[in-house]
Amino acid sequence: MTLPSKPCQKEVNVERNGSTGIIRLSRPAANNALTYESKRLIGQSIAHFESDAKVRAILLCADGPNFCAGADLNALESRLDDAVEFDQYLRFGLEVYGRIGTSRLPVVVAVQGLCLAGGLELMLAGDVAFASEDARFGDQHARFGLFPGGGGTQRLARIIGQRRALDLMFSARWIDAPTALAWGMVNYISPPGDLWQQALDYCNMLAQRNPGGIAQMKRTVRLGADLPLQGALELELSAASEVLRSKGARDGIAEFKARRKPTNSSSHGLSIDQPPSP
């Protein structure tokens, strides 16, 4: 699937569509292979959208037939001889991907074509993932004697389980979109021509939710995953006390009781009708 054509001025292009901030990988001729610069621009773009009060969600997507085939090996190879520089290079990538997880904004990823190795790591850092029917996912590091350096060994196992993650890494095989959906790697599958719009519609739906509540849901799920159950429940309790006593939640309760459609500022997930489908 190819997104609506845009002039590509950078490795990563940024725009805003209503309440959705869009980050687009823009190296289609190189299968959107990730460089230091592209990672820097991703991190910079997240910070930019976090400072914009009108932005309620981020859509991470890519130009061309493939989402991302991995890291740019030329950029990686040029740093191998300097252990300090190479360590800094890897740590910078981890920091950028970590920024996706710690951002108060939900990050939705739309994947078409190939999503491999470093591209898979980037996709896994997001919160919700849409995949085109033609999408293929895999970790190719073992095939070439390489090793994940963008969080792949950790995020993949946490999302799909250790046995599936190890098999995918050991074998370096690709899986298709239905398998990725069944394993919980992605949330939705879209026809190739509809991927962009369905992912954008989902982001626009998020704009109808209380941003404070959404941010706390993301924070508690991510932080709580690494805590013992009792500690995670305490984390939820603290967040619930803050969100449920906020003006947005109070307005949402009043609208629910009055059977009115929640407004952008107050809606926090309580819904009289069925939630909108992406």
Give per-residue pLDDT as tens, 169-196. Answer: 999 999 999 999 999 999 999 998 999 9
Mean pLDDT of the region 53-76: 94
- Residues 6 or more apart whose CB falls under 8 angstroms from that of 84 comprise none
Question: What is the CB-side half-sphere exposure of residue 230 using CA atoms within 13 A?
Answer: 0
The ranges assigned to domains in the chain are: 12-206, 208-278
- Residues 6 or more apart whose CB falls under 8 angstroms from that of 140 comprise 70, 116, 117, 146, 172
Residue pair 172/140 in contact (Cβ under 8 Å)? The answer is yes
Mean pLDDT of the region 221-225: 91
Give the confidence band of 243 by pLDDT, cuts at 50, 70, 90.
confident
Give the confidence band of 260 by pLDDT, cuts at 50, 70, 90.
low
Within this chain, domains 12-206 and 208-278 share the same CATH topology: no
pLDDT score at 276: 34
Question: Is CATH 1.10.12.10 the classification given to domain 208-278?
Answer: yes
Structure tokens at 191: 């026809």
pTM: 0.86
pLDDT score at 63: 97
Mean pLDDT of the region 108-132: 97
Give me the chain's average pLDDT, please: 88
User: Does residue 214 register a pLDDT over 90?
Assistant: yes
Long-range own/partner contacts, residues 6-9 (CB < 8 A, 24 or more apart): 6/63, 8/63
pLDDT score at 240: 85
CATH fold group of domain 12-206: 2-enoyl-CoA Hydratase; Chain A, domain 1 (3.90.226)
Give the confidence band of 278 by pLDDT, cuts at 50, 70, 90.
very low
Mean pLDDT of the region 43-62: 97
